[in-house]
């Protein structure tokens, strides 16, 4: 027997065989079978197990084995021996093959010589090609039709005799073995092959063409590949001179191409231009085996001597020209074998799946992962290839990528709306950007209404409008109003604010009313409430000296809002307002301000507890909207302080790159 371990998938997708010191049949499971003894089951991958079904050691000096491609339940093997004979056998009694008289037959050449290769026709499975060594004037390529063999001994023939105690089978007794041997001897028939080629030559390897099942290629005499047509046996139809006569195999997905090897060279051939290889693949070490992947277009695997990895060549034919050399992408895969691999076999159906066997007998089931080709789809989705037929993509509903936002806004004609405020409605998820569009709409409207008619800018900023205020020649009017006049008779102090035409324009640019008693304030506050900004609405009401209104807003906030019932507690606290510096309300409010997280709640208490009209804690609260801070400054800061604050705020916004700075700078 050959000392080299070989492996081959069968046409039955969950069975494979190995041979070397014996011929073994295995069955693959996706889950560990409970009814099978653990000694017969082993793991071949992370998710698959293999069970040794039976073993046979009765075929000595096996050189080559192939499996009948039309098997449905049981495997029929063609076993090529060193004496040139080819035996047809099964592992167990098989009605599937016994009824046809295949089992137990031997195909015997006229003169004994070494069998180098046996190969069933993948389409017409009854045709079996045998490649032999040279013998005088005999042919070295014999084609047998197993359907033409005599079936007189079909019922008396035996399957492969079992050796050992494989599960479900018993070893034969001595007398039974003798009877089987006698029967096997009688079964030897000198049947003639249907075709003979290669007179006085040596056939090293054979390959059938799937698209032309009556055509085959053979590596001959160590120097030539010949193509024969069974329909015209008197002549070969094509040939080429090369040392690459070993491992000849045709691409199962494209009959135009075949591959062969010798020593350290792999040759890729196009039979339309057979004079020279279209590509030479130098793996760098001695080649042991090559095989095309049956499930992927133009993928060729090769095994080198003393190697635990496989080389995969992805051959891409980019041009229709016969002279053009294909592009070859090489990659190395490691199936995880702990020792050097001696053989591999592609799965006939499962995509990119193969088996390997090592010197130690270790078997690995491995799936080759394709190179990932990534691209953008027309819908701006990341798409990549997944196997030969599928594409995968990322569901962008989980990712708010900027490109998706750009596309969505463009489809909604964002920036092209005649009414600038409609652009704001399209970007409600970005409040800063929405505020810019609202400001542009407001300045345009105020200009059309004549409020900003003396401006040199289409969209003037607050800084430009307030620049006309002069503390000497055009100063603001100071207004002082007692808290008692505002409905708080127990308060002894007063509120101070400033009036100026330019300050009024600035307030309108901030969406604040010029007159705190006008319906404009109520409309603005109602708009804030509808958007759920209850604390901001309450703070704006307080900044406009409408404390009772602020309390009403807070009490109207629903319990399912962001703050829930806690706003009712804030309303209760505000109802006890007192400007007495020694009051318990003021002292407790000042103590609690640092622990308040909401910027508007913090701002309203800072405003009510301010000393000497110092509102810096409110004006410097960055979490408060810029337009609210600017409006507050326009109401309560003296002219000199107002200009200083606007300059400081402008520098801060420009440094941060804040779009709200357009409110100050203008366009």
Q: What is the DSSP letter of 5?
A: -
**Regions of the chain where pLDDT drops below 50:** 1, 151-189
At 518 the pLDDT is 87
Distances (CA, A) of 426 to 110, 208, 398, 429: 89, 65, 20, 8
- Helix 519-530 with 547-556: angle, nearest 10 deg: 20
At 294 the pLDDT is 94
3-state secondary structure at position 535: helix
Alpha helices in 305-374 (DSSP H): none
Q: What is the DSSP letter of 164?
A: S
* Residue closest to 69 by CA, chosen among 10, 7, 6: 10
At 166 the pLDDT is 40
Question: Tokens 């009772």, residue?
Answer: 548
Task: Report helix, strand and coil shares of the chain as percent, to nearest 5.
Answer: 25, 30, 45
Q: Whole-angstrom Cα distance, residue 439 to residue 459? A: 9
* Residue closest to 368 by CA, chosen among 327, 335, 330: 335
Q: The dihedral of CA 654, 657, 661, 665: what is its sign?
A: positive
* Interacting residues of 49 by C-beta distance below 8 A, sequence separation 6+: 28, 29, 30, 31, 32, 33, 41, 42, 43
Q: Are 346 and 301 in contact (CB under 8 A)?
A: yes
Provide the b/e sequence for 269-299 (b: ≥16 CB within 10 Å).
bbbeebeebbbebebeeebbbbbbbbbbebb
Q: Are 633 and 642 in contact (CB under 8 A)?
A: yes
Q: What is the DSSP letter of 450?
A: T
Q: What is the DSSP letter of 475?
A: P
3-state secondary structure at position 563: coil
* Interacting residues of 431 by C-beta distance below 8 A, sequence separation 6+: none
| Six token digits for residue 101 | 């008289």
Q: Whole-angstrom Cα distance, residue 455 to residue 452? A: 6
| Six token digits for residue 80 | 């090529």
Pairing mode, strands 106-107 and 188-189: parallel
| Six token digits for residue 478 | 């100071």
Residue 7 parent element (H or E): strand 6-9
At 177 the pLDDT is 37
Distances (CA, A) of 217 to 224, 297, 652: 10, 20, 81
| Six token digits for residue 448 | 């059309």
End-to-end CA distance of the chain: 92
At 205 the pLDDT is 97
Q: Whole-angstrom Cα distance, residue 208 to residue 216? A: 4
Q: Whole-angstrom Cα distance, residue 280 to residue 292? A: 16
Q: Are 23 and 65 in contact (CB under 8 A)?
A: yes
At 109 the pLDDT is 93
| Six token digits for residue 654 | 């420009």
Provide the b/e sequence for 376-403 (b: ≥16 CB within 10 Å).
eeeeebebeeeeeeeeeeeeeeeeeeee
Alpha helices in 6-79 (DSSP H): none
Question: Tokens 């307002």, residue?
Answer: 577
| Six token digits for residue 645 | 């604050």
Say what the alpha-carbon torsion angle 93, 96, 101, 104 is, to the nearest 10 degrees: -30
At 463 the pLDDT is 86
Phi–psi pair at 52, nearest 5 degrees: -75, 115
Say what the alpha-carbon torsion angle 417, 420, 425, 426 is, to the nearest 10 degrees: 40
Q: Whole-angstrom Cα distance, residue 414 to residue 613? A: 44
* Interacting residues of 3 by C-beta distance below 8 A, sequence separation 6+: 20, 21
* Interacting residues of 150 by C-beta distance below 8 A, sequence separation 6+: 101, 189, 191
3-state secondary structure at position 160: coil
In sequence order, what E strands does 293-371 have?
299-304, 310-316, 327-333, 341-346, 353-358, 363-367
* Interacting residues of 627 by C-beta distance below 8 A, sequence separation 6+: 435, 439, 509, 510, 511, 512, 660, 663
The model carries a pTM of: 0.61
Alpha helices in 360-500 (DSSP H): 402-411, 420-426, 431-448, 462-466
Q: Whole-angstrom Cα distance, residue 434 to residue 173? A: 93
Q: Are 166 and 53 in contact (CB under 8 A)?
A: yes
Interval 119-156: pLDDT, tens: 999 999 999 999 999 998 899 999 999 988 754 344 44
Q: Are 138 and 199 in contact (CB under 8 A)?
A: yes
Phi–psi pair at 497, nearest 5 degrees: -145, 170
| Six token digits for residue 489 | 């008779």
DSSP assignments along 353-369, one per residue: EEEEEETT--EEEEEPP
At 566 the pLDDT is 82
| Six token digits for residue 209 | 């063409």
3-state secondary structure at position 527: helix
Interval 531-561: pLDDT, tens: 888 999 999 999 999 999 999 999 988 876 6
In sequence order, what E strands does 82-202 have?
86-89, 106-107, 115-120, 127-132, 139-145, 188-189, 195-199
Residue 274 parent element (H or E): none
Beta-bridge partner residues of 249: 259
């Amino acid at each position: 027997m050959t000392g080299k371990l070989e492996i081959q998938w069968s046409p039955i997708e969950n069975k494979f065989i190995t041979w070397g010191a014996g011929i073994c049949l295995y069955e693959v499971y996706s889950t560990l079978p409970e009814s099978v003894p653990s000694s017969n089951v082993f793991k071949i991958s992370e998710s698959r197990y293999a069970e040794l079904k039976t073993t046979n050691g009765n075929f000595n000096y096996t050189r080559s084995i192939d499996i009948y491609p039309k098997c449905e339940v049981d495997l029929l093997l063609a076993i090529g021996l060193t004496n040139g004979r080819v035996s047809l056998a099964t592992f167990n009694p098989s009605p599937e093959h016994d009824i046809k008289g295949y089992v137990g037959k031997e195909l015997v050449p006229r003169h004994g010589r070494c069998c180098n290769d046996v190969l069933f026709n993948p389409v017409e499975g009854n045709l079996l090609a045998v490649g032999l060594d040279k013998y005088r004037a005999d042919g070295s390529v014999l084609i047998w039709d197993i359907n033409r063999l005599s079936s007189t001994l079909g019922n008396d023939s035996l399957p492969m005799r079992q050796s050992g105690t494989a599960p479900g089978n018993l070893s034969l007794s001595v007398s039974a073995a003798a009877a089987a041997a006698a029967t096997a001897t009688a079964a030897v028939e000198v049947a003639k092959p249907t075709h003979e080629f290669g007179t006085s030559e040596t056939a090293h390897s054979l390959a059938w063409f799937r698209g032309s099942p009556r055509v085959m290629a053979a590596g001959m005499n160590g120097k030539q590949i010949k193509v024969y047509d069974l329909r015209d046996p008197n002549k070969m139809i094509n040939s080429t001179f090369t040392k690459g006569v070993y491992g000849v195999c045709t691409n199962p997905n494209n009959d135009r191409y075949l591959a062969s090897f010798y020593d350290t060279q792999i040759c890729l051939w196009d039979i339309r231009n057979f004079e020279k290889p279209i590509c030479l693949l130098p793996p760098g070490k001695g080649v042991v085996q090559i095989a095309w992947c049956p499930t992927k277009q133009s993928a060729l695997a090769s095994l080198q001597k003393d190697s635990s990895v496989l080389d995969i060549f992805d051959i891409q034919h980019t041009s229709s020209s016969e002279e053009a050399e294909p592009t070859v992408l090489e990659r190395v895969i490691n199936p995880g074998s702990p020792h050097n691999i001696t053989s591999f076999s592609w799965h006939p159906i499962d995509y990119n799946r193969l088996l390997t066997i090592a010197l130690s007998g270790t078997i690995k089931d491995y799936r080759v992962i394709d190179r990932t080709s990534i691209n953008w789809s027309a819908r701006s989705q990341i798409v990549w290839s997944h196997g030969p037929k599928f594409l995968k993509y990322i569901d962008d509903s989980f990712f708010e990528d900027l490109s998706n936002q750009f596309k969505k806004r463009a489809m909604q004609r964002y920036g092209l709306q005649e009414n600038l405020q409609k652009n704001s409605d399209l970007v409600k998820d970005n409040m800063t950007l929405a505020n810019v569009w609202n400001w542009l709409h407001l300045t345009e409207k105020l200009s059309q209404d004549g409020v900003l008619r003396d401006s040199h800018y289409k969209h003037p900023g607050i800084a430009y409008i307030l620049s006309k205020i002069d503390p000497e020649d055009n100063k603001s009017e100071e207004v002082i109003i007692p808290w008692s006049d505002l409905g708080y008779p127990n308060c002894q102090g007063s509120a101070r604010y400033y009036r100026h035409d330019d300050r009024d324009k600035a307030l309108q640019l901030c969406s604040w009313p010029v007159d705190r008693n006008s319906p404009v304030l109520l409309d603005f506050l109602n708009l804030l409430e509808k958007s759920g900004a209850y604390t901001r609405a309450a703070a704006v009401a307080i900044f406009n000296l409408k404390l009772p209104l602020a309390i009403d807003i807070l009490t109207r906030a629903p319990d399912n809002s962001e703050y829930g019932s806690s706003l009712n507690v804030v309303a209760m606290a505000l109802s006890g307002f007192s400007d007495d510096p020694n009051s318990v309300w003021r002292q407790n409010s000042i103590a609690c301000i640092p622990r308040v997280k909401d910027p508007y709640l913090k701002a309203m208490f800072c405003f009510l507890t301010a000393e000497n009209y110092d509102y810096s804690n409110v004006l410097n609260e960055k979490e408060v909207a810029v337009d609210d801070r600017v409006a507050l400054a326009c109401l309560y800061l003296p002219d000199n302080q107002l200009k200083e604050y606007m300059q400081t705020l402008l520098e801060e916004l420009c440094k941060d790159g804040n779009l709200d700075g357009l409110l100050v700078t203008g366009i």
